[in-house]
Amino acid sequence: MKPKSKIHFEISERKILLRIFDIVFVLISLYAVSSIFNFGYFMISADNWAWSIVLAIYLTVFATIFELYSLQKTNDRSRVFKNIILTTSVTVLFYLLTPFYTPSLPENRLQIIYFFLAILGALCVWRIAYITLIVSPRFYKNVLVVGDSFEIDKIAENLQAADPHYVVVGYLNTLEDNSSDQIPKVKLSHLLQMVKKMRVSEIVVSSSLEEGVVKELYVKLLVLLKEGYPIKEYFNVYEELTHRLPVENLQKDFYKYFPFSRSNQNKLYLFFHRMFDLVFSCIGLLFLLILSPFVLLMNLGWNRGPLFYKQTRVGKAGKNFEIVKFRTMVTNAEKLGAQFATKDDARITAFGKFLRKTRIDEIPQFLNVLNGEMSFIGPRPERPFFVEELSQSIAFYEIRHAIKPGLTGWAQVSVKYGESAEDSLTKLQYDLYYIKHRGMFLDLRIILKTMSTVIFFRGQ
């Protein structure tokens, strides 16, 4: 009989938990403060319940933008509290500036200060409780990796980087003896006993054999399955935790491993996707008209040379097009040939660094979006030289061209700017995840994460 296992919150469960209790704690705090001090501005009642919904929406949206639901950052107290202050400030500001959907401003302006402090205090109390109680070893998931021909240290690193609560406590490799200094190895004959001794919550199978794992291991896994132990395939776990596809471990038959999202052929989705592209293009070009005089003046002094530059990129179906951007590098930056831009690239001008950090250099590309050569969301378009080079060294690279390239995308908001072929592989994993799971919900997540990237100046 399976022993009583420890409680473990999956990634999606923790994000739901954070969102729900953010709202619950804030509403309870507001109700308590308004009752104690008899403040009518944020008094929650049957007559104004809709105001609570508006507040909850604002809170959820801005908490997402300011990364309060990024699980890799929820353990960092200083960063969490900084993001709480930003979230509270912007939420209160928007709540005050939309009186049609929220209560009119009170005559006693002191209520606004109490309103701000009530939300701030509620979020701080809840997040301290979360860090103290939920982010602790009692809620870790103990995982055992079994199979053949895998690098256990690499697997453990990948899984725990995505979810610090996902702890690999042991491994069983039936073919290779690639021992680890940090992770205990389990013998096949002792598998059943060790699963119970290590209090394993989940078993992850990684096998490179077409016929599956060896028979003896299969029999023992079947026994564990009957006893109630969850058994999952490594590729599925990797994709679920990291939100990217482990293409370096897959074979050439891509259609077996990632059936593409139905949205890629859904005419209704594609219609609305194009409508959003047109709307965002109009907004982006309006910003272009507003910012161009400022960029032009700064360009004359700190970025001398042409204001714009064009460059050939590879688009949908492998067709080339000319991308338009504000110039951020010195003129003749590639006189020695095409090369990846690096973090501290000497070719980038001082003003060019500002344009990249703020993503202002990308704004002219709304012309490409308007022309239908690009979409607002999609894989980043790459240059023909690098496409040819990367297609020869990275499997599945050409699949990026199954959809339109994008101004922003899942890879752009998930990883830093690519500086090498290895970085391109990581970006490809995210691009293929987007192509596989493409839909309105994922598009919305990308838009919110893009706003976080711009706000925190993470452009490169």
pLDDT band at 118 (very low <50, low <70, confident <90, very high): very high
Residue 149 pLDDT exceeds 80: no
Q: Give residue 9's pLDDT.
A: 63
What is d(CA 449, CA 212) in angstroms, rounded to the nearest whole number?
A: 39
What is d(CA 425, CA 440) in angstroms, rounded to the nearest whole number?
A: 25
CA distance readout (Å), 350 to 17, 86, 114, 343, 357: 43, 28, 43, 13, 11
Q: Give residue 343's pLDDT.
A: 67
Mean pLDDT of the region 127-156: 84
What is d(CA 114, CA 129) in angstroms, rounded to the nearest whole number?
A: 22
pLDDT band at 1 (very low <50, low <70, confident <90, very high): very low
Interior CA angle at 196 toward 194 and 201, to 5°?
110
List, for residues 372-419, the tens digit of each pLDDT value.
999 999 999 999 999 999 888 887 888 899 999 999 999 998 887 666
Q: What are residue 377's DSSP bridge partners?
A: 408
Please give the share of the chain, as a percent, with pLDDT higher than 90.
44
Please give the share of the chain, as a percent, with pLDDT higher than 70.
88
List, for residues 304-328, the tens digit of each pLDDT value.
788 998 999 999 999 999 999 999 8
Hey, which of 96-105, 119-128, 252-261 has the most confident mean pLDDT? 119-128
Closest CA to 202 of 148, 145, 242, 164: 145
Torsion of CA 136, 141, 146, 149, to 10 degrees: -50
Helix (H, G, I), strand (E, B) or coil at 61: helix
Mean pLDDT of the chain: 85
Q: Between 267-302 and 440-455, two packed helices, what is the crossing angle to 10 degrees?
A: 10
Q: Give residue 299's pLDDT.
A: 87
pTM score above 0.85: no
Q: Which residue has the higher pLDDT, 165 or 209?
A: 165
Residue 122 pLDDT exceeds 80: yes
Residue 123 pLDDT exceeds 90: yes
Q: Give residue 291's pLDDT.
A: 93
Q: Give residue 257's pLDDT.
A: 59
User: How far from each other are the two terminal CA atoms of the chain, in whole angstroms?
Assistant: 54
Torsion of CA 435, 439, 444, 449, to 10 degrees: -20
Q: Any idea where the domains of the chain sit in the sequence?
A: 11-134, 140-242, 262-455
What is d(CA 232, CA 10) in angstroms, rounded to the nearest whole number?
A: 14
CATH code that applies to domain 140-242: 3.40.50.10700
What is d(CA 429, CA 423) in angstroms, rounded to the nearest whole number?
A: 10
List, for residues 254-276, the tens digit of each pLDDT value.
666 566 777 888 889 999 999 99
pLDDT band at 106 (very low <50, low <70, confident <90, very high): confident
Lowest mean pLDDT across 132-136, 142-146, 348-352: 132-136
Q: What are residue 168's DSSP bridge partners?
A: 143
Q: Give residue 176's pLDDT.
A: 67
What is d(CA 364, CA 292) in angstroms, rounded to the nearest whole number?
A: 10
Q: Give residue 246's pLDDT.
A: 80
Residue 453 pLDDT exceeds 60: yes
342 alpha carbon, distance to own chain's centre: 22
List, for residues 180-213, the tens digit of each pLDDT value.
778 999 999 999 999 999 999 899 998 876 667 8
List, for residues 8-59, the tens digit of each pLDDT value.
566 677 888 999 999 999 999 998 988 888 887 777 766 677 888 889 999 9
Q: What are residue 310's DSSP bridge partners?
A: 324
The dihedral sign for the CA sequence 202, 206, 212, 213: negative
CA distance readout (Å), 222 to 87, 156, 206, 317: 48, 24, 16, 45
